[in-house]
Amino acid sequence: MDITERFLNYTKFDTQSSEESDRVPSTPKQLIFAEYLKKELEREGLDDVELDEKGYIYATLPSNIKQEVPTIGFISHYDTSPDCSGADIKPQIVRNYDGADILLSEGIVSSPKKFPELLQHVGEDLLVTDGHTLLGADDKAGIAEIVQAMCYLRDHKEIKHGKIRVAFNPDEEIGMGAHHFDVEKFGCEWAYTMDGGDIGDLEFENFNAASAKVTIKGVSVHPGYAKGKMVNANRLAAEFAAMLPADETPETTEGYQGFYHLLGIQSNIELARLSYIIRDHDREKFEDRKHLIKHCVEQMNQKYGEGTAEAEVKDQYYNMKEKIDPNMHVIDLVLKAMQECGVAPKVEPIRGGTDGAQLSFKGLPCPNIFAGGVNFHGPYEFVSIQSMEKAMQVIVKICELTGDYNN
């Protein structure tokens, strides 16, 4: 089975996760794919294949050398984003892409005028959607690359390598992917998430992240008799949102700039709930952002009465850089592997997070390598088959280089 067929098989499964759920995994349909993937790993001959009750899959490719070298791992998540449907995906292959507009479905066009990233893949074979769902390259492309690399190493015993562990998990898209990951069971000295974007991406800096749930309590009174009595939670919610810096949102920031992102508002006169995510690469600025949310709540209470507003702020993950910096050999290995595979590295901070960030803080240094997908979480998502093949080659080369690690 080639990497394209493997990936296309994965897209047949709807594995969308849900932020509204308190179960693990967050949606039962993820377990259907997990069972399929477990059987595939067993069929491909990997050892120690295990699927636990929370949907985490672990497996081993045994060492084929006598000397002791570090055990390393590769990780990808199998859930897809709640932002766009992952059901009934109809992928299409655009062979030898010529740089023109791509007709996904009647009236739905993916154009390089809007998505100039397409032009970086002229002459390649692109997997695209039909414009009605996401594709799922985030992160089923990563899974396909890891499994394909393990099969390649299995079939090419002349490539010497140490013990390789692989793992696949649910719920990364809702920030829960690493919460139940058993680092001790995984048993690696370091690992890599194959969850990056376009070819060459290598990421070991990410946002510090928190969520903020702001609740505003109002008082409903007939509007004809409301003077001095009504407290309109709708209006107070709008006032609260306006208290945060208008130029510090995802739409106005880039690079290392942080932001406040208003995910949604549920509101009526008596009660309003605002849901935010808070992001910043700098830990001190991150703490300042959380403090500003709480300060705005205090101001609302001073103006409208104690208990009018409250905020629940929870940290989600931190910048992995502080854990990777003392382990830069993990990065040097990838850079050498990319060089030997003819891939130009693009080392950039992640304007987001990966499971690798949380895993790094759990004692498993875990930077993020490209999986090849572009325009994640929407119907204009695509992935180059050639990029997936290169990612697979980089995995193989990392394993080979680690097999010679102590020489």
H helices of 102-182, where? 137-155
H helices of 244-384, where? 283-304, 321-324, 329-340, 355-361
Q: Dihedral through CA 1, CA 381, CA 117, CA 7, nearest 10?
A: -10
Q: Which residue from 311, 301, 308 is spatially nearest to 278, judged by alpha carbons? A: 311
Cβ neighbours of residue 12 closer than 8 Å, sequence gap 6 or more: 89
Q: Nearest 5°: CA angle at 28, between 25 and 29?
A: 110
Q: Pick the catalytic residue: 79, 139, 198, 201?
A: 79
Cβ neighbours of residue 47 closer than 8 Å, sequence gap 6 or more: 59, 60, 61, 62
The token pair that represents 227 in the structure block: 């003077």
Active-site annotation holds for 52:
no
Active-site annotation holds for 201:
no
Residue pair 258/206 in contact (Cβ under 8 Å)? The answer is no
Buried-state track 187-221, b at ≥16 Cβ within 10 A, e below 16: ebbbbbbbbbbbbbbbbbbbbbbbbbebbbbbeee
Largest CA distance in the chain: 85
Cα 38 to Cα 6, 54, 143, 169, 356, distances in angstroms: 14, 13, 12, 12, 22
Q: Pick the catalytic residue: 172, 195, 201, 280?
A: 172
User: Hey, which residues are catalytic here?
Assistant: 79, 172
